[in-house]
Amino acid sequence: MERGKMAEAESLESAAEHERILREIESTDTACIGPTLRSVYDGEEHGRFMEKLETRIRNHDREIEKMCNFHYQGFVDSITELLKVRGEAQKLKNQVTDTNRKLQQEGKELVIAMEELKQCRLQQRNISATVDKLMLCLPVLEMYSKLRDQMKTKRHYPALKTLEHLEHTYLPQVSHYRFCKVMVDNIPKLREEIKDVSMSDLKDFLESIRKHSDKIGETAMKQAQQQRNLDNIVLQQPRIGSKRKSKKDVYTIFDTEMENTSPKSEQDSGILDVEDEEDDEEVPGAQDLVDFSPVYRCLHIYSVLGARETFENYYRKQRRKQARLVLQPPSNMHETLDGYRKYFNQIVGFFVVEDHILHTTQGLVNRAYIDELWEMALSKTIAALRTHSSYCSDPNLVLDLKNLIVLFADTLQVYGFPVNQLFDMLLEIRDQYSETLLKKWAGIFRNILDSDNYSPIPVTSEDMYKKVVGQFPFQDTELEKQPFPKKFPFSEFVPKVYNQIKEFIYACLKFSEDLHLSSTEVDDMIRKSTNLLLTRTLSNSLQNVIKRKNIGLTELVQIIINTTHLEKSCKYLEEFITNITNVLPETVHTTKLYGTTTFKDARHAAEEEIYTNLNQKIDQFLQLADYDWMTGDLDNKASDYLIDLIAFLRSTFAVFTHLPGKVAQTACMSACKHLATSLMQLLLEAEVRQLTLGALQQFNLDVRECEQFARSGPVPGFQEDTLQLAFIDLRQLLDLFIQWDWSTYLADYGQPNCKYLRVNPVTALTLLEKMKDASRKNNMFAQFRKNERDKQKLIDTVAKQLRGLISSHHL
């Protein structure tokens, strides 16, 4: 029963559900009916639903039929109207078809135009897209083109900056394009190209400054010379304002240049063209000649590329090589001053460039590197100068070289390089300069002495007198009072030599200029050099003249007179040196001039030469002596050669009036002694083996002539018979033999007051032997005469006594 109730309940629920579905089908749009029908098929009451659906359709058909029957007439009328409408619709259709056909025909052009418009719109869209893409690529291409232009114009540092922007900013935006990939792949190559090109520019720059170092150095040295001239002017004039440029001012230009630096500079590497300026125009700065932008560019480029250390090492290595080349002097440098000048210009140019690099770059070169180079340069330069200057024999060239070295040192000192060693070396060159001066003045003195006439200087007017006095400090009141014409006691070589000594002092002073020496050092240098000139050069020149073979007594006499006056002038030379050095001679350690000694030595040499010359002349006359030692006749007059000799001596001693008294007296005494000695030797010479009393008496006449000459006083100043004492040996010997006073000689021999004190027994025996031999020869056939035999015995007896006297005296 319960089951029956449950079935009945389920049947009622299904009927209600089917009713709902049917209402939903009736009220729902056909497009949404699917879910409703699906719910029917999903259920188990499909058959019942279909029955319900059939029942509902039949109900609706009955309602439609009822309604149609009710509205049939209206329906017929509607059909009739509809048939009419169909005809009209057909007409309308035909019209629409015709209109469509016409429209199609008329619209073909429009369709074509529309297709074209469509294509244009498509192209426009593509073009717009392409433009957009190109707008992204265009900056990349522009930057790349700019990069190429910069590299073409050698703007390497801007090119490197452009390359960085291109790589990091522009290329990432268009990295998917193939050309961008090519660019990206090419960037390392471009960097290497920039690096290589900048290095090439640096090499060109290094080669250019190597070639133009002398021009840079020449300009720097001109600047130093101008500055020194300006300093000298300032010292001579009241200081109004200093025009000296400090080293800081010199580098101001380059600081400005550094701010604009090389990355922005478009100049080519190397030396800028500078036209030759006139002398009155300002010399351009040494650095103004050089465009350092290649160095700056390359330094910046290598720094950006992270290879700064490589660049620094390369630069320093190359500059060291160039330094060695610059410091190698040419083999013929010593021949001309231009050789030294070019050598110095190159060195200065090198260090001016390095000094500028030091102050305008940070760390490319450092002070230790510069100092190392300078030490090497200094040692090599000094060694080269020592070697090449030793070849210089021209003092003018040595002086010019000294001035050039001073300018070289001053120039480098401006740039902060120590130059003390150069000035020390100049002191060495000073000694060499003194030697070359001495050689030059040796030639000058030789020419003066060779060209002198060794005669007193004649003057015929007051102007001539003043001219000579102006050249040589000479004062003689007696000479001034004498009327014209008159003569100075000295010859022309006195004022010439005096003036040349002053010229030598001036030449020494020129070398001491700009050496930063004190007045005392300059004075000492001049005095020492002058002493060498006097004691060595002038002394040797005078000695050479005095020792000449063909020099005469007149010349020797004049030399003695000249040296006497030159000796007196030494005090004026002292004053002259004091005036130009402002160092008083009383100053401690002041060197004294040795001119007095020099001229005294020369005068003594001349005196000795006079004595020697006189003796030689006497010997020449004695060579003319022709005694007949076996003669028995007496001429009752002196020999002709002796008369001529005495006449010569009288005329010679007459020339000695201007000599100092002692010189003339010594010369006269020396001549007389030499004459006496020569006559004694003539009498005793071995070739004269025999002589007679007659020959001895003739010889006695010649000696008396000599004694008469001595008594006549050929030279004033001798006391009575002083000059005769020169012949005392001869006189006593001759008196002994002529008077045959042997008893007195033998009896008084050895006593201080004996008559024949000056007769040597050996001499007497020699002469006696000659007479004995002559007596034997002449009396060979008269030996039986008693007187002759007695005389011969007497000679033998005297000879025997003399031998005994000699032997006893020696014992």
Query: Is residue 802 domain-resident?
Result: yes
Burial of residue 446, with CB atoms counted within 10 A of its CB: 0-12 exposed, 13-18 middle, 19 or more buried: middle
Query: Is residue 426 domain-resident?
Result: no
Range of the structural domain that residue 315 is part of: 216-228+286-417
Q: What is the pLDDT of residues 487-515, one digit of tens each?
A: 888 899 899 999 999 999 988 888 888 77
Q: What is the pLDDT of residues 263-300, one digit of tens each?
A: 333 344 444 443 343 344 455 555 567 788 788 878 88
Give the H/E segment covering residue 458: strand 458-459
Asked if residue 340 has pLDDT above 50, the reply is yes
Q: What is the pLDDT at residue 591?
A: 66
Q: What is the pLDDT of residues 738-748, one digit of tens each?
A: 888 888 888 88
- Which residue would you say has higher pLDDT here, 686 or 58? 58
What does the alpha-carbon distance between residue 739 and residue 759 come to, in Å, rounded to a whole number?
A: 14
Residue 179: pLDDT band (50, 70, 90) is: confident
CB 758 within 8 A of CB 728: yes
What does the alpha-carbon distance between residue 195 and residue 159 come to, in Å, rounded to a whole number?
A: 11
What does the alpha-carbon distance between residue 4 and residue 13 come to, in Å, rounded to a whole number?
A: 14
Asked if residue 658 has pLDDT above 70, the reply is no
What does the alpha-carbon distance between residue 408 and residue 527 come to, in Å, rounded to a whole number?
A: 28
Residue 120: pLDDT band (50, 70, 90) is: very high
Q: What's the number of CA atoms in the CB half-sphere (13 Å) around residue 42? A: 8
Q: What is the pLDDT of residues 35-59, one digit of tens each?
A: 776 777 766 677 777 888 888 888 8
Q: What is the pLDDT at residue 809?
A: 67
Q: Where are the beta strands (DSSP E) in 495-578?
A: none
The pLDDT of 512-535, averaged and rounded, is 83
Q: What is the pLDDT at residue 271?
A: 44
Of 350, 383, 417, the residue at which a domain comes to its end is 417
Asked if residue 171 has pLDDT above 80, the reply is no
Q: Which of the residue ranges 134-138, 241-245, 700-704 has the most confident prediction, judged by mean pLDDT?
A: 700-704
Name the DSSP letter for residue 656: G
What does the alpha-carbon distance between residue 262 and residue 270 come to, in Å, rounded to a whole number?
A: 13
* Phi, psi angles (nearest 5°) of residue 588: -60, 140
CB 520 within 8 A of CB 587: yes
Task: Give the other-Cβ count within 10 Å of 320's Cβ.
Answer: 14
Query: Is residue 440 domain-resident?
Result: no
- Which residue would you say has higher pLDDT here, 103 or 244? 103
Q: What is the pLDDT of residues 797-806, one digit of tens each?
A: 887 888 888 7
The pLDDT of 756-768, averaged and rounded, is 84
Residue 588: pLDDT band (50, 70, 90) is: very low
- The residue among 740, 628, 741 whose CA lies nearest residue 695 is 628
* Phi, psi angles (nearest 5°) of residue 277: -90, 155
Query: Is residue 525 domain-resident?
Result: no
- The residue among 148, 137, 132 whose CA lies nearest residue 171 is 137
Of 32, 50, 66, the residue at which a domain comes to its end is 66
Task: Give the other-Cβ count within 10 Å of 424's Cβ.
Answer: 10
What does the alpha-carbon distance between residue 457 and residue 465 come to, in Å, rounded to a whole number?
A: 10
Residue 617: pLDDT band (50, 70, 90) is: confident
The pLDDT of 191-213, averaged and rounded, is 80
What does the alpha-carbon distance between residue 506 and residue 513 come to, in Å, rounded to a whole number?
A: 11
Query: Is residue 794 domain-resident?
Result: yes
In degrees, to the nearest 5, what angle opens at C-alpha 700 toward C-alphas 696 and 702?
Answer: 120
Q: What is the pLDDT at residue 260?
A: 40
The pLDDT of 141-170, averaged and rounded, is 79
Tally of domains within the chain: 3
What pTM did the predictor assign?
Answer: 0.65
Query: Is residue 131 domain-resident?
Result: no
Asked if residue 144 has pLDDT above 60, the reply is yes
Q: What is the pLDDT at residue 283?
A: 52
What does the alpha-carbon distance between residue 224 and residue 57 come to, in Å, rounded to a whole number?
A: 133
Burial of residue 46, with CB atoms counted within 10 A of its CB: 0-12 exposed, 13-18 middle, 19 or more buried: exposed
What does the alpha-carbon distance between residue 589 and residue 620 come to, in Å, rounded to a whole number?
A: 53
Residue 595: pLDDT band (50, 70, 90) is: low
Residue 516, phi-psi category: left (phi > 0), alpha (psi -120 to 50), beta (remainder): left
The pLDDT of 179-192, averaged and rounded, is 78
The pLDDT of 536-562, averaged and rounded, is 84
Q: What is the mean pLDDT of the chain?
A: 79
Query: Is residue 491 domain-resident?
Result: no
Query: Is residue 75 domain-resident?
Result: no
Give the H/E segment covering residue 194: helix 178-211
Q: What is the pLDDT at residue 756?
A: 84
Task: Give the other-Cβ count within 10 Å of 256's Cβ.
Answer: 10
The pLDDT of 117-136, averaged and rounded, is 87
What does the alpha-carbon distance between residue 65 and residue 61 come to, in Å, rounded to a whole number?
A: 6
Q: What is the pLDDT of residues 10-33, one digit of tens each?
A: 677 777 777 787 787 777 766 667
Residue 810: pLDDT band (50, 70, 90) is: low
Of 417, 450, 480, the residue at which a domain comes to its end is 417
What does the alpha-carbon distance between residue 357 and residue 292 come to, in Å, rounded to a whole number?
A: 8
